[in-house]
Structures are given as structure tokens and as C-alpha cells.
Amino acid sequence: MYLTHFGMSEWPFSLTPNTDFYCALKPHHEAMEVLVTALNMGEGFIKVTGEVGTGKTLLCRKVLEHFTDYATVAYIANSYLNPNELRWAIAKELQINVDERAGQQVISQLIQDRLLELNQQQQQVVLIIDEAQCLSWDALEAVRLITNLETNSKKLLQVVLFGQPELDEKLSNKKVRQLRQRISFSYQLRAMTKSEVVHYIHHRLSVSGVSNSHLFGKNICLAIAKASRGIPRLVNILCHKVLLQSFGEGKNRVEHKHVNNAIKDTEDCERQRTAMLYVGTAVTLAAVAIVSFWRWSL
């Protein structure tokens, strides 16, 4: 499609989390520092929350890469699991051979034995659960129970929970107060600022091999920042759509009409735009009414 036209080696705005395009902006850099520090300190539970599309999964994969060399990492991407399925998933990630007929007590014991074995090998063990807001109450309790195993000096399993803000709501419930009290570090990802969006767009273009610095002008980037509300996923969607339009017209730079068309074609952005227009219209009508009343009073 437009890769050759713009001199790109790969898709710069793909929705697939690709750590090659990781941009260490302030929110993600701070989150990485919190995660690395907490895990190096041996803390039991760490939590990272953020709205949909703020880059949690990309950050999650970045953490996986960081600890792969000197830690055993169990990654659970699908959190729609009951306690039994969760134990099976953890056992599989820890490379435990489990008989299909094994009961849950047996699986729990095998997990504990494996954790002790890895500890003797001086291996750090980290369990990362993505989309953790989807865990049931029983599954959360199962995670807590698995982390009960410890030596005199440290936990044998550290847990990182990545989730949407609903995770905070779930953890505020008294049903999981024991788990909540074990969360020693947490971080909340925010959306990007306008200047961060500009840097983010140019960074991804640079990684993809684009040498044309005028492809996305600053005003174009700011328009995308406003429409996307600084949410990385929406930025990627809009940028991909404007590149398609520019390529279709045989042009070498993005124009404002391309951005406007992309916004109209992106439901989440258009809904926000419509809401803003409605608010603006309401404010204008209110101002007119006040002025008319004032004149009538005279």
C-alpha cells in the first residue's frame, strides 16, 4: 500500500503492540521505572491501570523483554479464566507437565514445587496478568493464595496486574481487601499531552524509516492530538487513515482535509467532536439568551 510511496520499511501506526516502536514518553517511562524498581526490590504485587488504548499491553510486552534474560516470566493474556483455568495457565507458563486428570490441589502443589525449584536456581519468577479487570473474585483470590509461598526473605512469585480503571473499582471491594493490601506499588497511565503526541508521531515515523520531516506538519499533529484526546491507539488509527488518503491522492504530505475525513470516519473521535459541538452550541445559545434578557429588561 503506502509503505513504498512514503519510503517506510514497516507500518508505523499498526495497532499490534510492537516494542520496536516503544516511545519513552513521560507516562510510559515513569511506569517502566516503577515496574522495574518494584520487581527488583522483590515486591509481591504491582498494579498498572489506564484507560482503553493508553498503551498498557505495549508496556506489558516491554516489561517481558526487560526481564526475560534473568527471570522466569509467566504471561497471562486472557484473564477470562476461572480459578481452575488460571492455575492451568500458570502451570503451562512455568513449563510444568501436568496430567490432564490432575486435580486442582495437585496443580497448586506442582506450582509451589516449581517455584521452590526456580528459587534454588536463583531465578526470579514474575506473573504478569493483562486485562486483569476481567478476573473474577475467585480468580483474584486464587492469585493471592498462590503468592502465599515465600522464604524468610522474599516472595517466590511476584505479580503484575495490568488493567483498565475498572480494576481499581474491583480492588476497592472488601472481598479482595487482603489482596489490595499486598499491592505495594501502583501506577496510573495517562493520555499523552499535545506536545507528546507530536513527538510520538514523529518517533514512529522515524523508526519506520521515514526521512520526510514534512510528512506530518506540527499543526496536523496537533489536530490529531485534539481529536484523539492523546490516546495512543486513536492516534495510530487516525495517522493510518490520513496516510491512506494522502497516498491515494499521490501526495507526499498529510493535509487538514485528510485529518477531518479521518475524524469523521473514526467513531470514538467523531462522537467526542459531536459532543464538543453540542456543548459549544449550548453555550452560544445561553449567551444569546442572557443578552436578549438584559436588553429586554432595559
Which residue in this structure is represented by grid cell 490441589?
105
SS3 content of the chain, % helix, strand, coil (to 5): 55, 10, 30
Q: Tens-digit pLDDT profile for the chain (298 aa)?
A: 899 999 999 999 999 999 999 999 999 999 999 999 999 888 789 999 999 999 999 999 998 888 877 789 999 998 999 999 999 999 999 999 887 777 888 899 999 999 999 999 988 999 999 999 999 999 999 999 988 887 777 789 999 999 999 999 999 999 999 999 999 999 999 999 999 999 999 999 999 999 877 899 999 999 999 999 999 999 999 999 999 999 999 999 999 999 999 999 998 886 555 444 433 434 444 444 444 434 445 5
Q: What is the per-residue pLDDT for 174?
A: 93
Distance, in Å, from the CA atom of 228 to the CA atom of 266, rounded to the nearest integer, reads 10
Helices marked H in 74-217: 83-93, 104-120, 137-146, 166-171, 177-180, 194-207
Which residue in this structure is represented by grid cell 502443589?
109
Q: What is the per-residue pLDDT for 140?
A: 94
Sign of the alpha-carbon torsion through 142, 144, 147, 149: negative
Q: What is the per-residue pLDDT for 273?
A: 55
Straight-line distance from the first to the last Cα atom of the chain, in angstroms, rounded to the nearest whole number: 66
Q: What is the per-residue pLDDT for 292?
A: 42
Sign of the alpha-carbon torsion through 92, 98, 104, 105: negative
CB atoms within 10 A of CB 43: 18
What cell was used for 246?
494522502
Which residue in this structure is represented by grid cell 498462590?
146
Q: What is the per-residue pLDDT for 68?
A: 74
Mapped onto helix, strand or coil, the DSSP state of residue 189 is strand
Which residue in this structure is represented by grid cell 516472595?
155
What cell was used for 21?
516502536
Q: What is the per-residue pLDDT for 64?
A: 87
